[in-house]
Amino acid sequence: MQVRAGIFDSGVGGLTVAEALHRLAPSLPISYLADTAFFPYGNRTAEEVADRALVLARTLIAGGATVIVVACNTASSAALERLRAELTIPVVGMEPPVKPAVERSRSRTVAVLATTGTVSGARLARLTERHSGDATVTTIAMPGLADLVEAGETASERVRTMLSDALRGPVAEGVDEVALGCTHYGFLRPTLAALLPASVEVLDAAEPVARRVLAVMAEAGQDVPAGPPQEVLCYATGDADSFEATIQRLRDGGAALPPLRVLRPVA
């Protein structure tokens, strides 16, 4: 059986998941689909996002994907159950790392940074209720932050100001764990580390999700092939040149990215 992981997101954010998956299983063929024509998802209804997610998943399946990774918290919240009901291959979704953040918190005070769509979604509310326990979990909507990352901005003055303003209060209240609820925010870890006290830990879900993908594939009898490291094949539904330019800006800024080959746009 020829296996291939198909990953999609609204833009470049899910490349954090692709990087983790490639690092753990470099010989695994990976296709990455960036839905830049519909970016950002946070401005769309849950129904629109779910409909779009189904189109993207089916596009990846048509390209040979044997497992689908919804590398977007907003799309996972809106579409995960529907994708699992309508598709015949395994589907792995994202969720903000609330549980590990609460488990690791010494102060019992946790902040979750997420898009407006994720903050308003029922999935994050259920997750927080299930795992908060005796901890105080504060969710903070960050409108516009993913847009800056999508443009390749990860350490600009605008980004630093936005993060500082959002986290000043929570840090003063004793937050010691910051959970990232958007895959785009994974590219902001160095900036967050520079802004936050050394006592505050930043968690994202990219590597845990990558490990889950490999476990799900193994359970489904999908063995990762032996062989040399593979390039991640990337497609954008919008302008491919703009997508490549963003990737280059992220690389120039020191972002960890897998070897990528950007192909022509898809519908």
> Which residues form the catalytic set?
72, 182
- Pairwise CA distance, residues 69 & 207, whole Å: 13
- Pairwise CA distance, residues 26 & 191, whole Å: 27
- Pairwise CA distance, residues 255 & 260, whole Å: 13
- Pairwise CA distance, residues 148 & 127, whole Å: 27
Longest Cα separation, the chain: 54
CA 112 to the chain's CA centroid: 14
Distances (CA, A) of 234 to 46, 101, 174, 218: 25, 31, 41, 24
